[in-house]
Amino acid sequence: MRVEIRAAGVCHSDLSMVNGTIVPEFPLVLGHEASGLVAAVGSEVSDLSVGMPVVLNWAAPCRTCWFCLHSQPWLCRRVEGVVSRPSGTLADGTPLHVSLGVGAFAEEAIVHRDGVVPLPDGIGLDVGAVMGCAVLTGAGAVRNTASVRTGDHVLVVGLGGIGLSAVAAASVAGADRIIAVDVSATKEEVARAMGATDFLLYDETLARSVRALTERRGVDHAFECVGKPATIRAAWSSTRRGGQCTVVGVGRTTDEVTFSAMELYHYARTLTSSVFGSSDPERDVPVLASLVRAGRLDLSPLITHREGLADLGAAFERMKQGDGVRTIIEIG
């Protein structure tokens, strides 16, 4: 099917393809977090019509592999390891790739039917765009992977769109203490707006500072949303005995994190990762939309800048500098 792109979020994964953390095929159309309007459907599509607003799902599952049949579509074989896919050619015949099977920094995208989710009524296309990746990943890590409960103490390290979505989801879940951490003091205001009860600047004493806020125990759940060895270790060390540390950030293949055999045994912590927030967009987008409509989940603080497609370079520079949270590229 063909989708007119109306709003596309500038995600850190796009920057990671530019700086080499993730290595796609080039030439490449970036962008994967987006929403738009159905422009055309194939003959086998009967449940969508032209003009319908949709959220693009870059992790479109096949629904037939072992993982899909065992209720883990975020680990689908179709999606596993996919960074870029060929999608047409340039004028000279050079194969053109699109990031994560989408290529949303464009006027239109051709996607599989499983690659879109109808946008529920009452949700703007801008909010629908950030739902497509940042919110599903961050909120999903809290709701689906870790199952944060009322009264839990939660730590979120890294306050980009994913980390702030995790903060918001922890607040909706009823977490008693939500400690938000970033290297930039400018993130405190938005973190508190999303539900953080405490804000700390990141440094090597983070675990000690977290324990001071949690009766010396550490948090029940730590979410690392950066993907760096130092921040993974800091999140791990800030977790209480028997707690859970969830790595959400994507790091380089050459980065290594080490643990001693004794600490793994002694602390009885669970170390896991959250791929795409353990999300199934067909299931989770309507749930998140209902929370937004009910006024329980406010995603508007995530969107700090709006630009046209010609200003995409400036949006990447802001992201490099840690300025703002999400830039929405408005198209059409």
Question: What is the domain count for the chain?
Answer: 2
40 and 90 housed in the same domain: yes
Do 182 and 211 sit in the same domain of this protein? yes
141 is a domain residue: no
Is 228 among the domain residues? yes
pTM of the model: 0.96
Q: Is 14 inside any structural domain?
A: yes
Whether 261 and 310 map to the same domain: the answer is no
Kindly state whether residues 164 and 74 are assigned to the same domain.
Answer: no
Considering the domain architecture, whether residues 287 and 261 belong to the same structural domain is answered as no
In a domain, 140, yes or no: no
CB of 203 closer than 8 Å to CB of 179:
no
Considering the domain boundaries, does residue 51 fall inside one? yes
Q: Is position 77 within any domain?
A: yes
Shared domain for 165 and 267, answered yes or no, is yes
> Looking at the domain assignment, is residue 312 inside a domain?
yes
Same domain, 64 and 167: no
State whether 289 and 166 are in the same domain: no
Domain boundary among 226, 247, 273: 273
Show the domain range for 86. Answer: 2-133+278-330
Q: What CATH number should be reported for the domain holding residue 287?
A: 3.90.180.10
Q: Tell me: do 206 and 318 sit in the same domain.
A: no
34, 132 in Cβ contact below 8 A?
Answer: yes
Backbone phi, psi, residue 67, to 5°: -65, -45
Are 154 and 267 found together in one domain?
Answer: yes
Render each residue's pLDDT in the chain as its tens digit; 332 residues.
999 999 999 998 999 998 888 889 999 999 999 999 999 999 999 999 999 999 999 999 999 999 999 999 999 999 988 899 998 899 999 999 999 999 999 999 999 999 999 999 999 999 999 999 999 999 999 999 999 999 999 999 999 999 999 999 999 999 999 999 999 999 999 999 999 999 999 999 999 999 999 999 999 999 999 999 999 999 999 999 999 999 999 999 999 999 999 999 999 999 999 999 999 999 999 999 999 999 999 999 999 999 999 999 999 999 988 889 999 999 98
- Of 273, 295, 322, the domain-final residue: 273
* CATH number of residue 225's parent domain: 3.40.50.720
Of 235, 252, 273, the residue that ends a domain is 273
Same domain, 290 and 268: no
**At CA 46, angle to CA 44 and CA 50, rounded to 5?**
105
Does the residue 138 lie in any domain?
no
Whether 156 and 223 share a structural domain: yes
